[in-house]
Amino acid sequence: MDKHSGDADVVVIGGGIAGLGAAIRLKDRGLEPLVLEADSRVGGRMTTDRANGFVIDRGVTLFGNGFRSMRALVKRLDLSSLTCPGSFSVGIQDAAGCRGYRGGRFEDLLLDRGISWRARSAGLRFGMDLFRNFRALSHGNSFLSGALDGENCQEYFQGIGGEELFDRIFWPGLNGPMGGAAEKSSRVILMQVIWNLLVRGQWNLTDGVDRIPEAAAAQLPVVTGARVLRVERSGAGVEAQAEVEGRRQNFRSRAAIFAVPGHLVPGLCPSLPVEMCELLSRTQYSKIANAAVALSNPPKTPYAGYAFTPDVVPGAEIEMEHLRRPTAARAEPGWRAFSCGIRPGIAGWKRMTTR
């Protein structure tokens, strides 16, 4: 390949884990990437705050054992010694009580006496569908999942007699992580999340998940505080116009990778084909407020996470996770993180925080 004549071979827009992972791969293949990140630090939704000896992951907290590319990236960045097994169990609280499910223990669902026989047999059917299609569900194999992509979750669970299973377990437990519209989302998304994260178990980093983006950025040319405003074709390549610390700056390259939330891309590059812009504009994310509370005496709870159905917490989806203890010497205090899916009328939030 010819040497580029611009600022880089490929400009990567967005310094979250997707952009940094792509840039590392480009670098390993002999290309020169340049990452432009709007924020003052890299990582995007994979960042960690450190306060008084506490390690507080702000977004990502667990990786699935099925996340092969993430494992490979961690190895590539020499961070394998920091990995540790994660253990996640969730309690789902509805008006009938609290039922618990452990990560990697699908039988908890099948043996659950808190749900009807019909729901349990739908769980068995769902489990068989997972195992039958595990290749298409494995991380990085989405190109194989086309045949599964014809139904949304609601249609799929109706088809297998699993309405109760969905309404009482999967919706409260996974609606937030799935973007806030689980019933209308493709069943593939739900199946992939459950297969890679819950059936296969999880892992974590002992020192905060931000070690991954930070280690990647240390090996790459990255400009932080660089908000890309517009990307245009220019000759045989592209030109990205950015605001870097209040000043306009142009970056020329042979290609660009957009590693920002999909719905932002049409605004950055209106000259993309219309059908692509329409598809990207439809990307939706859940609106989540995440709060971490340090407790001198963390409660002894059987589950790492709790999810609540709307009849228990009306108007809001709330998940509480009792996460990692501090890695610093201050051994005793723990902390609890609350994720609150924001919906119109957030009545439940106040109720939870005053408990």
Ligand X SMILES: Cc1cc2nc3c(=O)[nH]c(=O)nc-3n(C[C@H](O)[C@H](O)[C@H](O)COP(=O)(O)OP(=O)(O)OC[C@H]3O[C@@H](n4cnc5c(N)ncnc54)[C@H](O)[C@@H]3O)c2cc1C
Q: Given the rule CB under 6 A, which residues bind ligand X?
A: 13-19, 36-39, 44-46, 59-63, 227-228, 259-261, 264, 268, 288, 290, 339
**Closest by alpha carbon to 258, among 8, 16, 1?**
16
Query: Helix or strand or coil: residue 240?
Result: strand
CB-wise, 58 or 120, nearer to ligand X?
58
Distance between CA atoms of residues 69 and 142, nearest Å: 13
Distance between CA atoms of residues 144 and 136, nearest Å: 5
CB-wise, 288 or 294, nearer to ligand X?
288
Residue 332: CB minimum distance to ligand X, A: 25
Distance between CA atoms of residues 260 and 263, nearest Å: 8
Residue 62: CB minimum distance to ligand X, A: 4
CB-wise, 64 or 123, nearer to ligand X?
64
Sign of the Cα pseudo-torsion (190, 262, 282, 272, in order): negative
CB-wise, 44 or 162, nearer to ligand X?
44
Residue 354: CB minimum distance to ligand X, A: 22
Residue 46: CB minimum distance to ligand X, A: 4
**Closest by alpha carbon to 11, among 332, 350, 188, 240?**
240
8 Å CB contact between 129 and 189: no
Residue 226: CB minimum distance to ligand X, A: 6
CB-wise, 30 or 246, nearer to ligand X?
246
CB-wise, 102 or 125, nearer to ligand X?
102
Sheet holding 63-64, edge to edge: 63-64, 202-205, 83-86
Q: Which two tokens stand for residue 339?
A: 């994720």
Residue 160: CB minimum distance to ligand X, A: 26
